Amino acid sequence: MQLIDRNRLAALIEAGAVVLDVLPAPAYRKSHIRGARSFPLKDFSSSSLAPLGRATPIAVYCNDFT
Amino acid sequence: MYRYQPGKVDWKGAGMPWDGHDRESSLLADVAEPLPTCAPTDRADAIRAPIACAVVDANGVVLGLIRASRLAEEKGKTAVELMEPAPPSYRPDAACENAADWMTRKSAPFVLITDPDGHLLGMVTREALSRRFMRRG
């Protein structure tokens, strides 16, 4: 997984990347990056990610560094 | 796959677009106003600032703050000589109430708004916060 900064994420969003918020759903409802989808970490698996396709870039984030 | 390691806190703190229930609160980004800036080597008599001026480096990172009253008193000095270094600041996604509490405790007429990298985004005055609170009732 490649680590990116804010500017790179903005560029990926501009280019149509899928952005996944991996925090629990209540945290997502409280606030999330515009356009991001709620995808809590507990739901991650190769089968759950498959519908997103392999061609579209995917970026994930949580709250902060910690 | 990419991981945006600084996370949501960094994104919101930089004033980037976000959504969610927290948007229903009044945020400092909603009441921020521009603040004049100057370079460290600018002379006081060349700086125009009705309230204050932020001293910024070549990348726009805040180095200090000069209040308008100091500019009038010390015309021959440079910005770096007059500034208060490392002034307090808030992020644009902070709630108005938090900044209002701080300004009241510190008797501060305004506060700077910066992103997580220290770039100036604006300022919020007590007057602007009062108008916002009165509108909400």
Q: How sure is the predictor about B88, in pLDDT bands with cuts at 50, 70 and 90? A: very high
Query: Average pLDDT of chain B?
Result: 92
- Contact between B10 and A10 (Cβ < 8 Å): no
Is A7 in the B-facing interface, judged by CB distances under 8 Å? no
Q: How sure is the predictor about B136, in pLDDT bands with cuts at 50, 70 and 90? A: low
Question: Using the beta-carbon criterion (under 8 Å), do A17 and B8 form an inter-chain contact?
Answer: no
Cα–Cα distance, A27 to A50 (Å, whole number) = 24
Segment B8-22 shows an average pLDDT of 93
For residue B27, what are the CA distances in angstroms to B104, B112, B132? 17, 14, 10
- Cβ neighbours of A39 (radius 10 Å): 21
- pTM attached to this predicted model: 0.80
Strand partners, B62: B56
Residue B102 in this model has a pLDDT that exceeds 60: yes
Is A8 in the B-facing interface, judged by CB distances under 8 Å? yes
Which residues of chain A from 37 to 66 reach within 8 Å of chain B, CB to CB?
Answer: 57-65
State residue A14's pLDDT score: 95
State residue B73's pLDDT score: 84
pLDDT in tens, B58-70: 999 999 999 998 8
Question: Using the beta-carbon criterion (under 8 Å), do B2 and A64 form an inter-chain contact?
Answer: no
CA A50 to chain centroid, in Å, comes to 14
Residues of chain B with Cβ-Cβ distance to A4 below 8 Å are 2-5
Task: Examine the predicted complex and report whether its ipTM is higher than 0.90.
Answer: yes
Least confident stretch, B1-10, B19-28, B48-57, B78-87: B19-28
pLDDT in tens, B31-82: 999 999 999 999 999 999 999 999 999 999 999 999 998 888 888 899 999 9
Distance (Å) from the alpha carbon of A42 to chain B's nearest alpha carbon? 17
pLDDT < 50 stretches in chain A: none
Strand boundaries in chain A, DSSP class E = 2-4, 18-21, 32-33, 37-38, 58-61
State residue B53's pLDDT score: 95
In degrees, rounded to 5, the angle at the alpha carbon of residue A61 between the alpha carbons of residues A58 and A64 is 160
Segment B83-89 shows an average pLDDT of 95
State residue B120's pLDDT score: 95
Least confident stretch, B22-26, B98-102, B132-136: B132-136
Distance (Å) from the alpha carbon of B115 to chain A's nearest alpha carbon? 11
B106: Cβ contacts below 8 Å, ≥ 6 apart: none
B57: Cβ contacts below 8 Å, ≥ 6 apart: B39, B40, B63
- Contact between B125 and B110 (Cβ < 8 Å): yes
- Cβ neighbours of B17 (radius 10 Å): 11
Cα–Cα distance, B45 to B73 (Å, whole number) = 10
Residues of chain B with Cβ-Cβ distance to A10 below 8 Å are 16
Segment B3-15 shows an average pLDDT of 93
